[in-house]
Amino acid sequence: MNILDQIVNDKRKEVTLKKSLIPINQLEASVLFERETISLAEKLRNSNTGIIAEHKRRSPSKSVINQKVSVSEVARGYEAAGVCGMSVLTDGKYFGGSLDDLLLARASVNIPLLRKEFIIDEYQLIEAKAYGADVILLIAAILDRKEIESLSKCAKSLGLDVLLEVHDEEELHKSIMPGLDMLGVNNRNLKTFEVSIETSKELSTLIPDEFIKVSESGISAVNPIKDLQSYGYKGFLIGENFMKTENPGQSAIDFIKELEK
């Protein structure tokens, strides 16, 4: 069983429990449910830097990254840096995140927020909207084509952008369909945890132009971004590189300044 199988097994139990505790109509009653969302795809399309900065306390590949900084402080720092959007990990068991992190980020900034989660059920999309997300992630490795289609339709009906993540050509072919806004290539091999931006380069020509291309994971310097931009990438999801520092917002500021040179 690989790490994604383990996470999804736990996630199914978690979602079943949550559904029994918090009914959908309670989530729909959130004031944030009626909020007009901000499109991350649009921000990336019009940006020269395209940074999506992540709040990530820990991970299966790195264990603890940063347990000290507050999510509000990180969010405000990222916004000040001029990122296109912020990714907030909401999984508790493997990443130390929560829906409250999303809520706190929402209360702190006015930039697109991605709910970074292992989405397997429409219930989680309704939660995402109720807690202030603008974007959701769908992971091709844990969903079949029909599930991707129905989850992306549901997300769009809630006004949420959809970022679909793939790891290889097979996942890409299986999941390309209208209704997705962004296609993310994850550079992290989830069997070995090795990261290589070559994965983004190799898959770039297979992604139709109508999708905004996002490169995810293992980015820790500006030169790889400049390289990936020449392969058509407009978005760059960066977590650990910022979060491993004492002041993630300041490191995003320094990084973007360097990228703009």
What one-character DSSP code corresponds to residue 33?
G
Distance of alpha carbon 71 from alpha carbon 77, whole angstroms: 10
Residue with the CB atom nearest ligand LARABZUK in the bound state: 239
SS3 (DSSP) at 218: coil
Distance of alpha carbon 188 from alpha carbon 92, whole angstroms: 20
Going by C-beta distance under 8 Å and a sequence separation of 6 or more, which residues neighbour residue 86?
Answer: 52, 53, 54, 55, 75, 78, 79, 105, 109, 111, 112, 113, 114
- Contact characters 174-193, ligand LARABZUK, x per CB under 6 A: ------------x-x-x---
Catalytic site residue 217?
yes
SS3 (DSSP) at 60: coil
* Binding positions for ligand LARABZUK, 206-225, rule CB under 6 A: 216-219
> In this chain, which of 112, 115, 240, 249 binds ligand LARABZUK, going by CB under 6 A?
240
Nearer to ligand LARABZUK, 238 or 252 (CB): 238
Burial of 226 (0-12, 13-18, 19+ CB in 10 A): exposed
CA distances in angstroms from 70 to 46, 73, 107, 134, 193, listed in the order given: 29, 5, 13, 21, 27
Nearer to ligand LARABZUK, 27 or 155 (CB): 155
Catalytic site residue 13?
no
Continuous H helices in the chain: 3-21, 24-28, 40-45, 71-81, 99-108, 122-130, 145-157, 169-175, 198-204, 222-229, 240-243, 248-260
Shortest approach of ligand LARABZUK to residue 117 CB, angstroms? 10
Options 51-59, 97-105, 175-183, 205-213: segment touching ligand LARABZUK (CB under 6 A):
51-59
What one-character DSSP code corresponds to residue 15?
H
> In this chain, which of 49, 53, 55, 59 binds ligand LARABZUK, going by CB under 6 A?
59
Catalytic site residue 56?
yes
Residue 56 in the binding site for ligand LARABZUK (CB under 6 A): yes
> In this chain, which of 182, 237, 253, 256 binds ligand LARABZUK, going by CB under 6 A?
237
Out of 215, 216, 234, 241, which one is annotated catalytic? 216
Shortest approach of ligand LARABZUK to residue 169 CB, angstroms? 19
Give the residues lining the site for ligand LARABZUK (CB under 6 A). Answer: 3, 54, 56, 59-61, 186, 188, 190, 216-219, 237-241
Question: Would you please indicate which residues are annotated as catalytic (active-site) residues?
Answer: 54, 56, 116, 165, 186, 216-217
